[in-house]
Structure 1
Amino acid sequence: MSLPGLIRWTATGDPAWYAIQDGYSSPSGWVDCYALNVGARRVWAYPYPGFPLVEIDQRGVRCVRRTSVRSASGVIVADDRVAFIAGQGRGPGAAGNYLVTFARIIDGPVETTTTTPLLLPSGQRPTTWARRTVCRDNRMWMQFDDERTWYTLDIE
């Protein structure tokens, strides 16, 4: 229980399964989970330091796929389509510069198809980093400066 990773608990409070190793991270396992998508039938984890896309169901880890995307703070999944949302750059001038990397889940690794800047409905990039990011299946919600406003990004 002292190892980092994900644990599914039973109704009685016992661990049902652990997801702590993925084959792409350090030998000691996951250090952090950069993005998590808790869907209706699957959980998708994106752990550091290896940054694989880990598919988990009620029985435990189903598949671990290598990705070329690094440091994403959000991941959304719809069937064989994936979108990673990652901040681009550091420092005061980089705040709000997110890239959305679209990819496909094929038999092996996740294959990147295109990358585009994340834009608000106004057509502008956000001016700050997101305060909150929530991912569920094919949809992500992001909240920036205004606590009353949530922006959504979904893939069909």
Structure 2
Amino acid sequence: MQKIALIPYASLPREHHARHVLTSTVDVFGSAHWLLAERAPQPGGDAVPFGALVVSVHPAGDVEVTELSAVRAHWPKLDRLPDGGFVVAASRARHNEEAHQVQVFDARGRETSTFSVGDAIEHLLVDEDGQIWVGHFDENPAGIRRWSATGRLTWTSDSARIPGLFDCYALNVSGTAAWACPYTDFPLVEIRPDRPSQPVVVRANRVRGAHAVAVHGDRVAFFGGYGEERDRLAHGELTETTVASTGVDTLTLPDGTPPGRRRVAGRGSRIYVQAEPFTAWGAFDISS
């Protein structure tokens, strides 16, 4: 086992560090985004609409700032749409606020639609076609679903025969496909709704507790685990029915230290990790 350091990927410009980071993500095209507010939300407080900024750092290094008006989610998920707009969703859906759980904003930061996708959002990732993939944690049995940007349900795992789908621990959306690793059985699930012959492929997997997954060709990597395996980077190869283990390493921050409290995102061949204070993303690329 060796230590593998993340490569520095994108950083929030210093002039925005005084604001509170509500959430952050890396989109399907590789741009990093931070949703910022003037102050941290108060636990148990009412979801009073507030103004927020999205600061985007694109792969070429240029920075874009978008003002969003009347954001309602105090504990949000965020991603960008291919047309330049944004999706902001409350991870928990209160009964009196379900109609506004998901807010869609245009490229100028104006709200264009709202809808509900259900309580207990663990992951929210937008694909290249603008479809919104939602993976739920165990307080919602909906599993994994895909929605249009207008709130139309376009795919659901209900009839997919995914074993032990009680909590979507890891979700990777790349192109128009998704890869998931759900609790309790932790199979690696390949989801391609537009492939009529076999939209879902389930592969048996021995890696338990990973919260991020990366896939490239027949190679796969899982990051995270339980207890002492929290920083584990497990490698494998895909067969028709299983994931064959090929080794285990430890993933660290670029300076070699453990990530500690972190946020993770899986996109194609990359696992992105953002450690507290959540102002910088590092990347591990299985294809490199």
Please, what TM-score do these two structures have when normalized by structure 1? 0.81
Distance in 2, matches of 1:5 and 1:33, equals 7
Distance in 1, matches of 2:283 and 2:141, equals 33
Structure 2 gaps, min length 5: 1-117, 119-139
The residue type equivalent to 2:142 in the other structure is P
Partner of 2:12: none
Distance 1:9 1:149, change over 3 A: closer
Partner of 2:190: 55
Render the CA deviation track for 1:2-60: whole Å, top value 9, x for unaligned: 742112224664322211454531xxxx2110000011132001111111111111337
Distance in 2, matches of 1:46 and 1:115, equals 17
Is the CA contact (8 Å cut-off) linking 2:233 and 2:251 kept in structure 1? yes
Q: How does 1:3-152 map to 2 (within 5 A)?
A: 3-10=141-148, 13-20=151-158, 21-25=160-164, 30-59=165-194, 61-89=199-227, 97-126=230-259, 128-130=260-262, 132-152=263-283
Moved over 6 A (4+): none
Structure 1 gaps, min length 5: none
Distance 1:150 1:12, change over 3 A: closer
Identity of paired residues, percent?
36
The residue type equivalent to 1:34 in the other structure is Y
Partner of 1:153: 284
Distance 1:48 1:35, change over 3 A: same
**Bigger radius of gyration among the two:** 2
CA positional deviation for 1:134: 1.0
Is the CA contact (8 Å cut-off) linking 1:88 and 1:99 kept in structure 2? no
- What is the SS of the residue equivalent to 2:284? strand
The residue type equivalent to 2:186 in the other structure is F
